[in-house]
Every structure is written in C-alpha cells, then in structure tokens.
C-alpha cells in the first residue's frame, strides 16, 4: 500500500469556462481511509479519475507512494493501467459477457498471474463477500446489491497501491449498505489498505473515515478527522453539511449591556463569555449561531444552560429517541428528544448549554474559535 498526495490539482473544461476542481491539495497517509465528501457536482469523481489516471488535469501533481504519476509541470503522466490502483465506479461497470468468476479474475489475468493463484484469490474474495454461489452467473442475472459486491470484489482481489471507490454503496438498500460499509471498514483495517472513498452521504463519511476532505464547487472547505469536522466546523457550509439532522442556525448580533458583551439572538440573549469563544467580538458584529439538535436537551446539563420554551410542531420517532421540530417565537428548530412522550401543539422546555453553541461571523461565515479548541487539538494527537 502507499500514501497518496494531491498537489494543486486543477481541472477545467470548455476552455476554462467550467472549473471542476479548483486547486485542491490534500494527502492521504499510507493505510488510512480518506473520504472525499461533498454535494453533487463538487468534483469528487473528477479528483478520483485524476488519481486513477483517467483524466489528465489542467495542472497539478499527484504522487502515489514515492512515484510521481501525474505532473503537468514535469510533464509526467503514467497511464492508468500502469498505476496499479483498484477502482470501483459509481456505475458497477461489470463486464457483461463475462461470468462473475471471470470478472473477478480479469484484473489478475492482466497481471499474468498463474492460473492456480488466480483461482485461489477469486475463491477467497468470493467467500469474503458471500458471493460464492454466484460465480458462474453473468452480471445481467444479478441483483443490484450482488453486482455491487462483485464490483467491490474485483477491486479486493488485487493488491493495489490504493483503492479508489466512487460511491460504491450508492445503490444498496439501507440494511445492506450498513452491512457492506462495516465489511469494507473491517477489510480496510485488516489489509491496512489506503482507500479513497467518494460519497455525498455525510453519515457514511463520519462512520468510515480516518480523514474527511469536504469539497464544494471544486474547492476544499475543510479537511480533518470526522470528530474535528463535527466539533469544529470551519464555516457555515461545513457546519450545515455534517451532522444529521442538520445543525440549527439562528442569526444574532453582538451588543454591550452594562459593560458586558451579549449576543442577542431574538429568542434568547447569551453572554459572550458563556460561549467560551477565544476572541472578543466587536459590538454590532452580526453573527450566526449554530446548535446541533443533539445539544438541545430535555434536562439542563449545567447551571448556565439557556431555557427555551417551545411549541411542538412535529415529531419524527426514531425508535429509541425522536427528532422533534419545535417553534420558539417565530424560530423553528429541531432537537434530539429522549424524554417522555410529546404531542404536536404541546409546550416543551428545552435546555441548551451555551458552551455547545457554535459562533460564525457574518457575512464570511467563518467559525469563531473557542477556548477549548487548542486543548482538544492536543488531546486528539494522543489518540492513536
């Protein structure tokens, strides 16, 4: 396995009128699981194709392991068939005329491995993915989920430098998706494989990734561990994209009152100091406050908690808990509810720890860092 480094990758189409990837740089360490995350059309597939050598970027450099495989500056381009990357495509792309066994064996035949070894590897991958019964079938005779597993298997039979997976679970039903996702993570750990995985599903990203690269319109918005992205979203876009149900946002303004800095959000006022922000905001600054539904509780967690009286609008039961949509004044928000039963139209008291409120300055939408950020950063390094 190998590390992957992408430097200043730029891809434009239509003579520069469409920019698919805009000076993207990131690195994936050897044996790590990296997720490229972002809304549709943000350039995820294009980046993956560049790494695989299927697209020559307009400019930029890609290094796999020690080897420069693409460099517009040094005029280097290694052909895809010589990069030894295993790719699973958004479409399953199984060879229609070959059986499942032949599909799985195809990449190994290309490496001219001995027949015996091919047969053995195909067999073990088929067992791993539970498709031994399907080996004699053709792709047209398989269900969507089975096809997807064959496509995964065709990548796993190889010993590539890196796995590139483009929404490989997109067409599976919810249950199978969770199962295959788990399998994939287990296999990745077991093989210590470097994987770059594309998805627009943030849950998938949070559960799978060692590192997330979040993209929008061809640019990186933030990269980091799932925990970092969740706890310290760099800006409003990241905050809104990561987490389900999404973060609640409420606009506010910084005021001074009797020498104290306050943030007035309409339905509540909060002392700036209580938020634990690392820098002082000038009075008059407009801010956006963000609160995750999970941080709004039925019971207070500290004496500083803000109380939000609200009217229940809608209840989405999730089995053990529920997502409750409530109205406070004319502000609508969602909360994770683990208390007793609620009725639409009923009154409810919700508590919110001000420490958990994310503050973003407007209009740039950048997060205001918090006092605990530094400490958390250090704690994370100790984490293996």
Partner 1 sequence: MSTLVGRGLVVTVLVVVTLLYLLPLWGAFTTSLKTDEEIDLTSPIAWPQRPTASGYIGAFNHLKRALLNSVLITVGGTFGSVGLGAICGYVLALHSFPGANLVFLLLAAGIFLPFQAILIPLFQTVRALRLYDTIGGIVLAHTAYGIPMCAVMFKTFYSEVPKALVRQALTDGSSPWRFYWRVVLPSTKLATVTILIFQFTSIWNELLFGLVLGGPRSMPATVALNNLVGTLAAQWNIQMAGSLLLAVPVLIVYAFLGRYLVRGYMAGAVTAV
Ligand X SMILES: Nc1ncnc2c1ncn2[C@@H]1O[C@H](COP(=O)(O)OP(=O)(O)OP(=O)(O)O)[C@@H](O)[C@H]1O
> What is the contact surface with ligand X in residues (CB under 6 A)?
13, 18, 20, 38, 40-46, 200
* In the complex, minimum distance from the CB of residue 207 to partner 1, in angstroms, rounded to a whole number: 26
Question: Any contact of residue 54 with partner 1 (CB under 8 A)?
Answer: yes
Dist. CA 112–CA 130, nearest whole Å: 26
Q: What angle do CA 284, 288, 291 make, to 5 degrees?
A: 140
Q: Phi and psi (nearest 5°) for 290?
A: -120, 135
CA distance 135 to 131: 7
Q: Tell me: does residue 97 bind partner 1 (CB under 8 A).
A: yes
Q: Would you call 374 exposed, middle or buried from its count of C-beta atoms within 10 A (0-12, 13-18, 19+)?
A: exposed
Q: Measured over all CA atoms, what is the biggest interatomic distance in the chain, rounded to whole angstroms?
A: 83
Say how many residues touch Mg ion, by CB under 5 A.
1
Give Cβ neighbours of residue 285 (< 8 Å, ≥ 6 apart).
253, 254, 361, 362
Residue selected from 31, 65, 80, 339 as contacting partner 1 according to rule CB under 8 A? 80
| Distance in angstroms (rounded) separating the CA atoms of residues 301 and 145 | 44
Piece of the chain touching partner 1 by CB under 8 A; list 84-92, 231-239, 268-276, 291-299: 84-92
CB of 48 to partner 1, least distance (A): 10
Q: Measured between alpha carbons, how far is 374 from 372 in angstroms, rounded to an integer? A: 6
Rule CB under 8 A: choose which of 121, 154, 367, 370 binds partner 1.
154
Which does residue 34 touch among ligand X, Mg ion, partner 1, none (CB within 5 to 8 A, set by kind)? none
CA distances from 41 to 12, 34, 55, 266 (A): 13, 19, 16, 36
The residue number whose beta carbon is nearest to Mg ion equals 45
Whose Cβ is closer to Mg ion: residue 57's or residue 233's?
A: 57
Position among 107, 153, 252, 293 found at the interface with partner 1 (CB under 8 A): 107
Cβ atoms 48, 28 nearer than 8 A = no
- 45 in contact with Mg ion (CB under 5 A): yes
> What's the min distance (Å) between Cβ of 141 and Mg ion?
27
- Min CB(97)–ligand X separation in Å: 27
Q: Which of 41, 73, 95, 256 binds partner 1 (CB under 8 A)?
A: 95
Q: CA 331, 333, 339, 344: dihedral to nearest 10 degrees?
A: 70
Judging by DSSP bridges, how do beta strands 59-64 and 4-13 pair with one another? antiparallel
95 binds, among Mg ion, partner 1, ligand X, none (CB under 5 to 8 A by kind): partner 1
Name which of 45 and 188 has its Cβ closer to Mg ion: 45
* Residues binding partner 1 (CB under 8 A): 49, 52-54, 79-87, 89-98, 106-107, 109-111, 139-140, 154, 158, 164
* Residues binding Mg ion (CB under 5 A): 45
């Amino acid at each position: 396995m190998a590390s992957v480094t992408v430097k200043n990758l730029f891809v434009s189409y239509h003579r520069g009128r469409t920019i698919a990837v805009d000076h993207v740089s990131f690195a994936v360490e050897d044996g790590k699981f990296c997720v490229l995350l972002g809304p549709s059309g943000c350039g995820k597939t294009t980046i993956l194709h560049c790494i695989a050598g299927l697209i020559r970027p307009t400019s930029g450099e890609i290094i796999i392991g020690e080897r420069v495989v693409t460099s517009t500056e040094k005029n280097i381009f290694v052909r895809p068939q010589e990069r030894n990357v295993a790719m699973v495509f958004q479409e399953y792309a199984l060879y229609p005329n070959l059986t499942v066994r032949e599909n799985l064996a195809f990449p190994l035949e290309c490496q001219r491995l001995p027949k015996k070894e091919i047969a053995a590897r195909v067999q073990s991958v088929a067992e791993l993915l539970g498709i031994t019964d399907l080996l004699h079938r053709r792709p047209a005779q398989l269900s969507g989920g089975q096809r997807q597993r064959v496509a995964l298997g065709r990548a796993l039979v190889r010993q590539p430098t890196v796995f590139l997976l483009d929404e490989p679970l997109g067409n599976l039903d919810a249950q199978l998706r969770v199962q295959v996702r788990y399998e994939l993570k287990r296999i990745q750990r077991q093989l210590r494989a470097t994987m770059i995985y594309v998805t627009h599903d943030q849950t998938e990203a949070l559960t799978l990734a060692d590192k997330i690269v979040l993209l929008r319109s061809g640019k990186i918005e933030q990269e980091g561990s799932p925990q970092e992205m969740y706890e310290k979203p760099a800006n409003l876009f990241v905050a809104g994209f990561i987490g389900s149900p999404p973060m609640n946002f409420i606009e506010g303004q910084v005021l001074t009152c009797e020498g104290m800095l306050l943030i007035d959000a309409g339905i509540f006022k909060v002392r700036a100091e209580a938020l634990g922000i690392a820098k002082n905001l000038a009075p008059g600054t407009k801010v956006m406050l963000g609160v995750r539904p999970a941080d709004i509780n039925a019971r207070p967690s500290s004496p500083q908690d803000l109380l939000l009286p609200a009217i229940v609008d809608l209840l989405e039961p999730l089995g053990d808990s529920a997502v409750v949509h409530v109205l406070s004044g004319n502000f609508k928000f969602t909360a994770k509810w683990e208390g007793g039963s609620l009725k639409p139209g009923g009154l409810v008291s919700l508590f919110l720890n001000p420490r958990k409120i994310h503050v973003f300055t407007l209009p740039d939408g950048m997060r205001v860092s918090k006092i605990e950020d530094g400490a958390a950063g250090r704690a994370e390094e100790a984490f293996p």
